[in-house]
Amino acid sequence: MIGSKAVRAAFREYYFKQKLVEAPNNIEQREFGYAQFGIPGMVRHLSFKGAGELTATLVREVPSDVYCSNALYRFPTLPMQEKQWQGADLIFDIDGKDLHLSCVPSHSYPICSNCGHASPTLEKEYACPACGGKKADYVSIPCAKCIEGSKKEAARLVEFLSGDLGIAKENIRLYFSGNNGFHFHICDDSYRPLDSQARSDLVGYLAGVGLIAESVGVRRSPGSDLAFVKFPRSGLDYGWRKRVAETLDIGASSTIRLTNIVKEKGGYSAFKAELDRITRQMGVRIDPQVTTDVHRVFRLPGTLNSKSGLTKLRCDIARLESFDPFADACQLGSTKVKVKMKTHAKARLKGQTFNIAKEEAELPAFAAVYFMCKGLAEAA
């Protein structure tokens, strides 16, 4: 956990002046928690009566990270088994690291787990140059390709939620996570009663997992791996059926074409495996644990992320393409801060490029905090 006085001071200034923190609806039924600078663990089972009380706590405590439950409880301050769960908002998390983009190694830095030494490049077989340690934590400074990848995934999820599930776009709240991804909050009370299994089924649908071949008209012949085609009466004009039909270039009258495709693949089982590959590729890569956990505490919108010093910031879905998290979510001040760099590092923040090769540098607070939160610098 970052414990620098300079970082805490920048966070304090932000919360003192802040206008972006969003108090959730039904605030008195939520469980809150926060992490503290330099102290492991989290202060949990907190409750607030209103936005003013929440803000006062942020200013007084200056937390490194702030969380709020997606669940509603009758008694949010009691132990988990006594809270009396009343339902939970539906949430989704798209994390850039789960996209496994090819650019990541070029802007990742290994930090020795033993001594904290940072190295400039990702090593194939890591050995700390300072102490010889073999274990490292890897931090990444996301590049434009990383953000574009997360944006595409977010736009795809919006399409599924609005098109397949019929959720009104005004009920889909999209947020930059404050580091390298996006969070979705669904403001539709009809989803609150869903249990973990129902949410897991929903995640499977969105990820394209488990679509059966029969749903697009391919059926196994009894007692063999041969197949025959019989299209569903409801057609191929919506949801996954439509996506698969467009990919295979078939329609509700393409019996012969689909039969030939199945034969070319090698029969029912081979086609089913190909269908699974296609749907997984077209599905949305979301963190299933975030959505299925009905007791999760989730980063509070408008608060700072200690992994970057950036804000969890609400994004307009219609303007997602032009959203620049390294400008829009970079909300800290510009007071000069002296830092000692652990390694050569580069980042673009608020339209400025910081390419720091020298050991000591004086940077605006927003840039200094970013490098320190990443573990690539410390206060001089």
Of the candidates 65, 89, 93, 164, the residue annotated as catalytic is 93
- Greatest Cα pair distance, the chain, in angstroms, is 75
* CA separation for the pair 158, 379 (Å, rounded): 41
> Closest Cα to residue 350, out of 370, 380, 336, 320?
370
Q: Which long-range contacts (CB under 8 A, 24 or more apart) does 261-266 make?
A: 262/218, 262/227, 262/229
Of the candidates 65, 89, 95, 164, the residue annotated as catalytic is 95
Inter-residue contact 379 to 337 (CB < 8 Å): yes
Q: Using alpha carbons, list the distances in angstroms from residue 184 to 118, 159, 288, 307, 314.
A: 33, 13, 13, 19, 10
> Closest Cα to residue 304, out of 7, 43, 66, 141?
66
Q: Using alpha carbons, list the distances in angstroms from residue 272 to 23, 148, 226, 242, 281.
A: 47, 31, 12, 17, 14
What is the chain's length? Answer: 380
Q: Using alpha carbons, list the distances in angstroms from residue 329 to 147, 183, 349.
A: 13, 14, 9
Cβ burial, residue 39 (10 Å; 0-12/13-18/19+): exposed
CA angle 141, 146, 151 (to 5 degrees): 130
Q: Helices (DSSP H) in 70-173: which residue ranges?
A: 144-159
* CA separation for the pair 92, 94 (Å, rounded): 7
Confirm whether 93 is a catalytic residue.
yes
Residues 349, 353, 354, 357, CA torsion sign: positive
Confirm whether 95 is a catalytic residue.
yes
Chain-centroid distance, C-alpha 338: 32
* CA separation for the pair 116, 114 (Å, rounded): 6
Of the candidates 287, 293, 324, 328, the residue annotated as catalytic is 287
* CA separation for the pair 301, 22 (Å, rounded): 5
Supply the residues annotated as catalytic: 93, 95, 287
